[in-house]
Structure 1
Amino acid sequence: MIHKKSAIFFLSFIIFNSCFKDKRSSVNSKKPNIIFILIDDLGYGDVGFNGSTYYETPKIDALANEGLVFDNAYMYPTCSPSRTALFTGKQSFRTGVYTVPVLEEGTNNENIFSHWTVGRQHKGYSELLSESGYKMIHIGKWHLVGPYPTEELAMDWPIKEGLNQPKPWDFSWVEQHRSEAVKQYYPEGRGFLKNIGGTYRGDPALEVGGYNSETGGYFAPFSNPFLIKKPNDEWLTDRLTDEAIEFMDEYKETSFFINLHYYTVHRPLRSRSDKLFKKYMNKKGDTILGQGLELGEKKKYVARYATMIESLDDNIGRIVRFLENNQLREDTIIIFTSDNGHNNTSNNRLRGSKGMVYEGGIKVPMFVNWPSNINKGRTNTPIEATDYFPTFMDLADIDYKGVLDGKSFTSLFDGKTDEDLLDRPLFWHIASQYKHGTCSVIRKNNYKLIQFLKDGSVELYNLEDDPMESIDLSETKIEIKEELLNELVGWRKNNKVPLPPNSILKN
């Protein structure tokens, strides 16, 4: 028997989807353009629309305020598992990507060492969108292939030692990466017409000195072998935006998808200009979030970071101006988010940072902007990295039958609540060590339970009352702890989720 509440919701969902598609087709018969903007290491509180008064993001804020802001958008704590989950729609235990391989700490007894290359058995959203007619380009960070993919994929997994990478100035890998054998793991082998600047690297510092080099990869001449030099090159974020605008101009009569995955604001940090640097060195700090209050070298670090955020904001403004000038705004969805929490900056409202499963490491800024097709506002409904793939399929009207761990969030575009999305549990499984031990996590109904895999210890937090995760409720909210723990263990068992060898848990 179908529950009355479920039946009403199901009927409402069908009606919304029908209206959603009718509205879309009335604007233009072609499928909507999609610009997927993924920032690297941008924290939840590093934008004005989430409360920052130190970092300046007026153009981004304008888009957010005219769109739908997701207050509980989540990623993994580091970029590799986030980007893999986004691309495949699958949880880490399916792909074997738990963190960035070179960040893993400890032995094969403490870790299930991570894959780097996403194998061809895992379909990417770009392949399906391309097959449906989208003209697609990938711009910026890729990070879904390892430096030695042929050797990596031939290994007997699980491996006994973690993967490594060459020095930033060692380009011996490039020839193999340009070969037909390896191109299949690059954007061109995944449905994109072009790859602009995407390599195995997680940062742009491909030059002598790496992070300590003069330009850090952000100032020209760029040493990226997949970014052809141009006479007017100056600043990497500007150049990547140029590429996005050129592609949109070329394919504006068709449906295009821009994978605009900026390297900014990943380290090594560089000031966009001396003028901007001085501006932020002298600017009053944010006493609530703690941004810009630092002293000495840390103050300089944060000021450089702020100049990169302002530059990002300027470039998002350029994207919007192009769309407006070419009458493309109504037909174009802009999705903006980050791949993990803030890295070595401040947010006094959230615990932790990049690399941690606490909110500061996994909660990210996120909004969707689509004029006349989305009711503007904010939603508390939690979403995670695996939800983007099915959302893209929904927007493109693609019926995909493959394995997906996420759910489309287009049902939220009308400003109403989707009870199925609101009440479902979100899961994380981190089977390799970085900033803390291996763990599994469940978030449900504003509660978040972390189980550490080595000894089975548990932490429980009420995120609504205690977003700083300062009060562990595992000894006082016994019933809630047991309920969430049973659901987490059941999820692992049902999915045959692997545990590191040193875990005392049965599953």
Structure 2
Amino acid sequence: MEQNREMKFFALLCQVCYIVALMVCSTPCAMANSKPNIVFILVDDLGHADVGFNGSTFYETPNIDSLARSGLVLENAYMYPTCSPSRTALATGKQSFRTGVYTVPVLEKGDDQENIFSRWTVEEEHIMYSQPLAEAGYKSIHLGKWHLVGPYPQEEMAMTFPLKEKLRQPDPWDFSWVAYHKQHCRKYYPEGRGYLKNVGGTYRGDPALEVDGYHSETGGYFAPFSNPFIESKPDDEWLTDRLTDDSIEFMEQHQDGPFFINLHYYTVHRPVRPRSEALFEKYMEKAGDPITGQGMETGKRKVIEAQYATMIESLDDNVGRILEFLDNSGIRDNTLIVFSSDNGQNIGRNNRLRGKKGHIYEGGIRVPTCLSWPGKITPRRTTIPVTGLDFFPTFMDVAEIDYDGVLDGDSITGLFTAEPEHLQTRPLYWHLASRNAHGTCSVIRKNHHKLIQYLADGKLELYDLRNDPKEEQNLVENNPELTQSMLRALVQWRQTNDVPLPPGAAL
């Protein structure tokens, strides 16, 4: 009798435990925790060949290379040629003509006939990926460069567009804007866009907020930081380390997930500062690479290049710290890591590609990019072209969010394990309506060909990127049929999307 009672009690206890387990598993919290974490590491001005996984033998990036080997390397990953349109396109998933952010406003050249002068502030109507992620339960933090709001947003929003002259910015050490931004501009900052916290994000595109800016001793990279959106800590030393510290602290607090880390380092943007004297001496003595041209400079340029190399090694050390935390915490397998850059090289050098930051040529828009997610992404390299516009829909796909807003890119989750045909054959477009390093232009890349149409005079350039990655041979005259076919597609894209042209355009 006693044994029967015990057996019945045990059976009843099992039923209760089963019911409780079902209730727990059906709660929104448990469902949210099943979603993967996302860590988005964006470097500033890191060139395509500034990492080992894309062929650099001078710069040392063992941790980043390990990340690349564990996942998918996108050999043809593209951004805009400057940071403002790239970061706006990433955040909103929209082409530059939709937001009016065509370049960094203070870099524009020419008058209001040659340009549609760029906006600086991203208006509220343009939803950023952080907002639907927050609604889906993600705990998010932004760290580092923001650059999605102008110094005078109230003045900017009251202006009539298109502007008659380019927007302005204060001197780096002029903090008269800070009080207004902290009190009245929350909607334009990370906390107004779904993030729980903002560490270091301002309107500025670089960290040098000290007197003399780029010519200051610390350059914004050494503590004490003059950034009004970074609270000082006793152990502050190097900005890249500090941003990593805060990202790890946030992940520790929210490792039950899901979390989203928008880690957008200021490095390796100017001003160049050596991380340490020992690292500087190491690269001053290291042999250069004649293929890329890295480490081959002399005189003052050699000094700058060695200093720049220390910043890249420091970046790599910090990426290694992120990976170590995820591994040690046992959450690496449930975390998608994206590593990329906002435009092509500025300080760095790459003899294998034409142009640099500011240019629509490959050196200005092709960036080092890899994605890693153990068990979900098949490790390999792919040549399928991908654009920064694809990250927003990819994040939505990974987080299983049904987002119905306007997006100009495509989810690339299909690339995680295969080579989808629709991604292989789709065209990519750029529209630069304000002049920076060269004239305004529209661009189409389809398959392995790239057509540039300059807006001021209609001049065309056609390149075979597979056989001529340095874009040395303009094929317009040699291949008129392909030229006209791609031009028709480019013009049709502009017409279909009502893409604006500068007043003085000859088209």
Name segments (4+ residues, structure 1) moved above 6 Å: none
TM-score, with length taken from structure 2: 0.93
Q: 2:249 aligns with which of 221, 246, 250?
A: 246
State the 1:341 CA deviation. 0.1
State the partner residue of 2:139.
Answer: 135
Aligned counterpart for 1:155 among listed residues 151, 159, 166: 159
Q: Secondary structure at the match of 2:503?
A: coil
Identity of aligned residues (%): 65
Give runs of aligned pairs for residues 20-35 of structure 1, distance below 5 A. Answer: 30-35=34-39
TM-score under structure 1 length normalisation:
0.93
Contact persistence 1:138–1:259 (CA under 8 A)? yes
Tell me if the contact between 1:93 and 1:497 (Cα under 8 Å) persists in the aligned partners. yes
**Equivalent residue for 1:178, pick from 176, 182, 186:** 182
1:65 corresponds to: 69
User: Which residue matches 2:411?
Assistant: 408
Question: What's the CA shift string for 1:98-157, capped at 9, x where partnerless?
Answer: 000000011111100000000001000000000000000000000000000011011110
Indicate which of 287, 291, 308 corresponds to 1:288: 291
The residue that corresponds to 2:494 in the other structure is 492
Counterpart mapping for 1:212-251 below 5 A: 212-251=215-254
Question: How many Å separate the matches in 2 of 1:57 and 1:504?
Answer: 46
Equivalent residue for 2:325? 322
Q: Taking structure 1 as reference, are residues 28 and 90 closer, same or farther at Cα in structure 2, changes over 3 Å only?
A: closer
Contact 1:206-1:217 at 8 Å conserved across structures = yes
Matched, 1:197 2:200: yes
> 1:68 is matched by which residue type in structure 2?
L
- Cα shift readout 1:315-342 (whole Å, capped 9, x = no counterpart): 0011111111110111111100000000
Decide whether the 8 Å contact of 2:214 with 2:270 is kept in 1.
yes
Match in the other structure for 1:7: none
Question: Gaps spanning 5+ residues in structure 1: where?
Answer: 1-26
For the aligned residue pairs, the C-alpha RMSD in angstroms reads 1.1
Residues 455-506 of structure 1 deviation map (CA, whole Å, 9 limit, x = unaligned): 001000000000000000011111110000000000001111010111011x
* Equivalent residues of 2:33, 2:256 under 8 A apart: no
Give the match's secondary structure for 1:93.
helix
Q: Does the aligned pair in 2 maintain the 1:28–1:331 contact within 8 Å?
A: no
**1:9 matched to which residue of 2?**
none
Q: Distance in 2 between matches of 1:78 and 1:28?
A: 36
The CA deviation at 1:345 is 2.4
Aligned to 2:400: 397
**How big is each residue's C-alpha offset from its partner over 1:157-194, in whole Å with a ceiling of 9 and x where there is no partner?**
01101001000000000001011x31100000000000
Q: Deviations over 1:76-110 (max 9, x none)?
A: 00000000000000000000000000000111111
CA distance in 2 between counterparts of 1:431 and 1:346 reads 27
One-letter code aligned to 2:446: K
Q: Contact between 2:46 and 2:348, CA under 8 Å: does it hold in 1? A: no
Residue number in structure 1 paired with 2:461: 459
- 2:32, 2:257 within 8 Å by CA — same for their partners in 1? no
CA distance in 1: counterparts of 2:309 and 2:405, whole angstroms: 41
Shift of 1:385: 1.2
Aligned to 1:337: 340
Structure exhibiting the larger radius of gyration computed from Cα positions: 2
Name the amino acid aligned to 2:99.
Answer: T
Report deviation, 1:387: 0.5
Report what 1:22 is aligned to: none
For residue 476 of structure 1, what is the aligned residue in structure 2? 478
Question: Residue 449 of structure 2 aligns to which amino acid in structure 1?
Answer: Y
Partner of 1:443: 445
